[in-house]
Amino acid sequence: MPAPSVFMPRFLHLSPLIFFVLAVGVSSRAQAPAKTTSTGPNAAEHAASLAESGHCSEALPLLSRAVAHLTDRELQKKAGLDGIRCATLLQRWDSLLDFAQLLNQQFPRDPEVLYVLIHAYSDLSSEATRQLAQTAPGSIPALELDAEANEMQGKWDQAEKDYRKILDENPHYPGIHFRMARLLLSKPNPPADFQDQAKKELQQELEIDPSNAGAEYVLGELAHQAGDLDEAIKHFTKATQLDPSFGAAYLGLGVALSMQKKYAEAVAPLEIAVKLQPANPVAHYSLGTAYSRTGRKAAAEHEFALQQEEEQGSAPGGQNPQ
């Protein structure tokens, strides 16, 4: 939007709301419910109009005051989206976060809102990255961010150097040994002993942070792959104790117990896995198998049917009911 002419008299840019406030300022508070006016639908419509005509500096504070109090859903959505655009333009990151949180709460599945939120959170992330690079470029968090970026781009050797540098500066920094293990297990051409190296990194991580459920889970997976089901069950159980919402750990535990033919014991963790991961066909199949082996035929058929639904829903061209 082109900026208004600098030669236009300044008073022409003043919002009618401002004139209203000036007019009623001489009256008593009982006669001037300014708060109601500044948060009502008329004020929100006016603020949205200002925003959409390029007057973001005037619109943003009005939108901030009004948006949370609106009962008209369409108007609230419009004000929130305009608020995000203006906050981004003006680089008002605190306001941007406020608008994003409100829209996420009020319109959690709205496609237009979700699209705008993707860019809003990306902008917030970029700004935080810029500030970190400016204020503390040599800090451990900056190194950690750089390592993560390299890892995501498949620059495995550079990521490993970054992680090693962090450990050189602080050998007890939490999370780094876990990420080293993840890196070893993700490399397309890992060394021959990569699993042993990964296990060592995970064990070192647990020495630093005994509450790391992810490390316990990956140790369980490695033990499972090696055929050591007792060890796998131990680690999966610990992971579920550390994080009761860890669906994959419950699934791993249930599968390992089933492989030992302990189907009755497998039922409980698999039921939790299905509740935590209702769209996972493997969880439904595993629970169905455990039900079948313990004589619960109807329950087993129900789980196998859900497995088929999820597999068909996730197939190309399918529509996942979840």
CA distance 89 to 79: 15
Question: Which pLDDT value is given to residue 28?
Answer: 33
Question: Which pLDDT value is given to residue 22?
Answer: 34
Which residues, in sequence order, are CB contacts of 55 under 8 Å at separation 6+? 4, 13
Domains along the chain with CATH numbers: 10-133 (1.25.40), 136-210 (1.25.40.10), 213-322 (1.25.40.10)
pLDDT by residue, tens only, the chain of 322 residues: 444 433 333 333 334 333 333 333 333 333 333 343 456 788 889 999 999 999 999 999 999 999 999 999 999 999 999 999 999 999 999 999 999 999 999 999 999 999 999 999 999 998 998 999 899 988 999 999 999 999 989 999 999 999 999 999 999 999 999 999 999 999 888 889 999 999 999 999 999 999 999 999 999 999 999 999 999 999 999 999 999 999 999 999 999 999 999 999 999 999 999 999 999 999 999 999 999 999 999 999 999 999 999 988 765 554 444 3
CA distance 78 to 44: 9
Q: Is the pTM of this model over 0.85?
A: no
CA distance 60 to 17: 14
Question: Which pLDDT value is given to residue 11?
Answer: 32
CA angle 79, 83, 85 (to 5 degrees): 120
Question: Which pLDDT value is given to residue 316?
Answer: 53
Question: Which pLDDT value is given to residue 3?
Answer: 42
Question: Which pLDDT value is given to residue 136?
Answer: 92
Question: Which pLDDT value is given to residue 19?
Answer: 33
Question: Which pLDDT value is given to residue 241?
Answer: 98
DSSP for 297-317? HHHHHHHHHHHHHHHHHHSTT
Question: Which pLDDT value is given to residue 135?
Answer: 92
